[in-house]
Amino acid sequence: MNISSSLQDYLKFIYEISQQKKYARIKDIARLKKVSMPSATEAMRKLSKLGLIQYHAYEFIQLTEKGENMAHYMFSLQNFLVKFLKEILGIDKEKAESEACKLEHCLESETLERLVLLYQYIISCPKTDKSFIKGFKECIASTVIGSSVSDFCKDCFVKTKFPHYIKNGKLKHILLKDMKPGEHGNIIMIGPDSNIRKKILKKGIFPANKVEMVHVDNKKDLFCINIEGYQTSISKVEATNMEVEIEKET
């Protein structure tokens, strides 16, 4: 059954209250949802019509078996997403809870399954160990100005020595700012500055994007690039924070 994200939230609040009191009241739900009593009442009518709660005006609210099953799933899903965001991605608790609420409403089952498998792989698989997460946390810390992590981690994002070659010398890694007009490549790394990386991502530029250098405005220090068919401009600072893989000239 597909219900709106707002009704899902109401259902979770009823479930949360019911775990403590065995039943819920309109005023408790309205307080948690931060809405007016009439708004909460209207939502209860909708949930009742869907067969998810037992509700009559001015009476206590209880989940039906179907409603409890759905609420339990959503509650467990949110807890898993919070755990994933905190333990794997290093997101702080408050932000993780907020982001999990948004994610749970839009994840397809296949994507969720892959997240679960990734979590299990990182946490439980014998092929990985605690050093994996420790290394990733060092990776995150390396983006913080003044951090004391190793130079190796700081250099990993965008290497200081260019060009360098991989795959038997067939491919070359350069900074995006060093691409020539008409040259094509794939974005490999974005970093190391966290604020600059966020600006780049907001422009819809991500690792693995195909990129073409269109032209360079040396007077304004702007680089006109084509990202997957979309043309945009980036600053020299942004272009210096992207590592690109191109084919070696023959």
> Which tokens belong to 25?
């009241």
Top CATH class, 157-247: mainly beta
Dump pLDDT digits (tens) for 150-195. 665 655 554 445 555 565 567 888 899 999 999 999 998 887 777 8
Asked if residue 33 lies in contact with residue 9, where contact means CB atoms within 8 angstroms, the answer is yes
Asked if residue 187 lies in contact with residue 244, where contact means CB atoms within 8 angstroms, the answer is yes
Residue with tokens 């092929």: 127
The residues, ordered by sequence, that sit 6+ positions from 68 with a Cβ below 8 Å of its Cβ are: 15, 18
Question: According to the model, what pLDDT value does residue 168 have?
Answer: 58
Dump pLDDT digits (tens) for 126-159. 888 778 888 887 777 766 656 665 665 655 554 4
Is the CATH number 1.10.10.10 carried by domain 1-109? yes
Asked if residue 223 lies in contact with residue 239, where contact means CB atoms within 8 angstroms, the answer is yes
> Which tokens belong to 74?
């959503």
For residue 83, give the nearest of 122, 140, 52 by alpha carbon. Answer: 122
Question: Has this prediction a pTM greater than 0.75?
Answer: no
Q: What is the DSSP letter of 61?
A: B
DSSP β-bridge partners for residue 189: 243
The residues, ordered by sequence, that sit 6+ positions from 5 with a Cβ below 8 Å of its Cβ are: 105
Domain boundaries, the chain: 1-109, 157-247
For 27, 45, 70, 79, 166, the CA distances from 51, given in Å and listed in that order, are: 21, 10, 11, 25, 60
